[in-house]
Structure 1
Amino acid sequence: MRKIRIAMVGAGLAATPHALALNELREEVEVVAVVGRSPKRVERFASAHGFPVGASVDAILNDATIDAMLVLTPPNTHLELVEQAAAMRKHVMLEKPLDVSMSRATRIVDICRTAECKLGVVFQNRFRPAAQRLAEVKASGALGSIACAGLDLRWWRPQSYYDEPGRGTYARDGGGVLLTQAIHSLDILLWLAGDVSSVAAATATTALHTMESEDFASASLTFASGAVGHLLATTAAFPGFPERIELIGDKGTATLEGGHLRVFFRDGSIDEFRDPSSSGFGAKPMDFSHAAHRALLKDFFDAVRDDRAPSVSGDDALRVQRLIERVTADAGKRL
């Protein structure tokens, strides 16, 4: 089996689980370069994981032996990097969100489609065992017709988190809790419950944080299927709690709380599954297993090798970002 040759662009907070996963996939993939804005950080990161340091993004782009780029830079840098990668016919695995706005995000997807480059997006939570089990339960029809679906995400981030340069700003991140934290769980919600047809929303920055964008969002949702639901997301809920996704059908109700799945059937029986790995997202952003990242990356490399679409595509990421934009737009109308 031919190894996929990749380069990592970015060596910040999000890069560590990818590095751990890539080293476990070394029979299938070779990391040939790591580049980033901070040479010292890149040196430390590359040394810690046994990766070579690259000369520059331009050197990566001009290396015809590199198949793909793993882009882990801030959201506002994504479009330009993807444009350059696609021009050189390199596939891209892109950290969420696609970019800071729907217009830039849509351009990313269109550019990759036109260039016939694979575009994967880091929505690794789909590959967590409990989420996979819930998807199987839903697909089997065991819940029946879904009438209600909801997401409750009550996490905590201290002020020091938002004091980092650019964190929670519209210019760099594109928004706050919705686009940075809740986006993962919203991807799961749409994956399971389908598209949303209408929203009635409110967003705010609570008194617990000083930041430019929102640390609180709520919305009533109506799905294209006719189901109704809700969204609540905040990073102002000390000390931080596991996120909860709920599907209510005419045959049963499923709740996914962190890695704990419970299915309550109308006959009184309960099916339960617990993923021992922590979600990490209640209060500690990086306290989670990298197993889901490994599964996500393996799927992407298989897609490159087999010339198929990745399981999590650019269109999937656009769907989530479109919902977030609708929530923030509707909330703005109500201010």
Structure 2
Amino acid sequence: MTDKPIANLAVIGLGMATKPHLDALAELRGKVNVSGVFNRTRAKAEAVSESFGFPVFDSIDAIAADPHTDGVIIATPPNQRADIVTKMAAAGKHILMEKPIERTLQAAKDIVTECESHDITLGIVFQHRLRQASLRLRALIEQGALGDLGLVRAEIPWWRDQAYYDVAGRGTYARDGGGVLISQAIHVMDLMLSLTGPAISVQALTATTRLHDMESEDFATAGIVFANGAVGSVVATTATYPGEQERLVLDGTKGTAILNGGQLTVTWRDGRTESVGDMSGTGGGADPMAFPCDWHRDVIEDFARAIHDKRQSSITGREALRVHALIEAMTRSSATKTTVEVENV
């Protein structure tokens, strides 16, 4: 514990995705202070206040005007973000935002530009990057231990029942911007790009299976060419009952690394093996929140320290645009039945 919190944060939006944030903030109490919470439904904010002891803000404007609030965690649906970001950035409040940044690549770029123009730290909650296994794999890649990367495979065989998509707006383009790609697979795809570097072209197929009644896709697959010369594939779905751990495989000239959920296994060409991490749940089954808050805690603490140290967070909005560009290219490739170049963002 520190004598004084490193940052005062407010939370905007208290839906299902906020649970690990609230649990993490409770664990960070004394290190990170919660200046208040806000939800469009006042009763929800009061329930959270009763459970966690956090104050309640009456409005977005009240948060923007509060001199004690250094930054905000925005966990609203994507279609509610632009106006909130504009107000917070103008008020000098730093922003940690749930994925995705927005519903389209252009809207996401607009938010990133808005924050940069006001010198605002913009962090994105891609918590898979901060798992112990992911950090170890990043270190191995930076050391060149895997050699030259040749093949990449991302598999996201998750499950969501129909009740999940029966919630108003969920899985629609108007609220979420799409389905499995932008709402679920985005986590693994962002982690993939953070390890491999950018993708330059894709050939994709997206579809809605007979297993769900929804507007957007619950299945997507693509062949990918990366800027470093590697090739790879993505297969993502929320139609695989009862859901399995996601898997990311990187095949290099010196060894193969497999991230299976939160566990990393490396098999070296010389016969050695290495394992790091555990098989903690990641929300791939019927309960999307079936995972610990540890990774969110680390993301929030990093964001708070970035505010205190006057630096960017470890997972920046600008870098997060890469996965938005890949998702847009996959969607366009499927619609046009052609190979599509990924925009260099």
TM-score tier by shorter-chain length is over 0.9
What amino acid maps onto 1:43 in structure 2? Answer: E
Instruction: Please list the CA deviations of residues 204-242 of structure 1 after superposition, one character each: whole Å capped at 9, or x if unmatched.
Output: 000100100000000000000010000000000111010
How far apart in 2 are the matches of 1:231 and 1:257?
15
Displacement, 1:276? 5.1
What amino acid maps onto 2:301 in structure 1? Answer: K
Does 2:299 align with 1:296?
yes
Instruction: Please list the CA deviations of residues 13-71 of structure 1 after superposition, one character each: whole Å capped at 9, or x if unmatched.
Output: 11111111112222222111111111111111221111111111111111122111111
What amino acid maps onto 1:165 in structure 2? Answer: A
- Equivalent residues in 2 for 1:174-185, closer than 5 Å: 174-185=177-188
**More off after superposition, 3-12 vs 198-207:** 3-12
**1:228 pairs with 222, 227, 231, which one?**
231
Kept in 2, the 8 Å contact 1:6–1:68? The answer is yes
Does 2:196 align with 1:190?
no
How far apart in 2 are the matches of 1:47 and 1:128?
31
Instruction: Please list the CA deviations of residues 254-278 of structure 1 after superposition, one character each: whole Å capped at 9, or x if unmatched.
Output: 1111112111111122111232532
**1:72 pairs with 75, 82, 85, which one?**
75
What amino acid maps onto 2:222 in structure 1? Answer: A
How far apart in 2 are the matches of 1:133 and 1:47?
39
How far apart in 2 are the matches of 1:329 and 1:20?
38
Structure 2: 5+ residue runs without aligned partners?
Answer: 339-345
**1:156 pairs with 156, 159, 166, which one?**
159
How far apart in 2 are the matches of 1:274 and 1:19?
24
**More off after superposition, 18-27 vs 250-259:** 18-27
How far apart in 2 are the matches of 1:284 and 1:26?
27
**2:37 pairs with 34, 40, 52, which one?**
34
Instruction: Please list the CA deviations of residues 83-114 of structure 1 after superposition, one character each: whole Å capped at 9, or x if unmatched.
Output: 11011111011111001111111110001001
**1:131 pairs with 131, 134, 137, which one?**
134
How far apart in 2 are the matches of 1:90 and 1:2?
19
- Equivalent residues in 2 for 1:273-312, closer than 5 Å: 273-275=276-278, 277-312=280-315
Instruction: Please list the CA deviations of residues 143-188 of structure 1 after superposition, one character each: whole Å capped at 9, or x if unmatched.
Output: 1000011100001111111000000000000000000000000011
**1:246 pairs with 241, 246, 249, which one?**
249
How far apart in 1 are the matches of 2:162 and 2:23?
29
Instruction: State the partner residue of 2:217.
Output: 214
In the superposition, the TM-score normalised over structure 2's length comes to 0.95
What amino acid maps onto 2:20 in structure 1? Answer: P
Q: What percentage of residue pairs aligned between the two structures are identical?
A: 46
What secondary structure, in the 3-state scheme, does the structure 2 residue paired with 1:175 have?
A: coil
Instruction: State the partner residue of 1:313.
Output: 316
Instruction: State the partner residue of 2:206.
Output: 203
What amino acid maps onto 2:204 in structure 1? Answer: A
What secondary structure, in the 3-state scheme, does the structure 2 residue paired with 1:14 have?
A: helix
- Equivalent residues in 2 for 1:42-57, closer than 5 Å: 42-57=45-60
Kept in 2, the 8 Å contact 1:303–1:310? The answer is yes
Kept in 2, the 8 Å contact 1:241–1:283? The answer is no
Instruction: State the partner residue of 1:264.
Output: 267
The aligned length equals: 335
How far apart in 2 are the matches of 1:296 and 1:28?
13
Kept in 1, the 8 Å contact 2:261–2:279? The answer is no
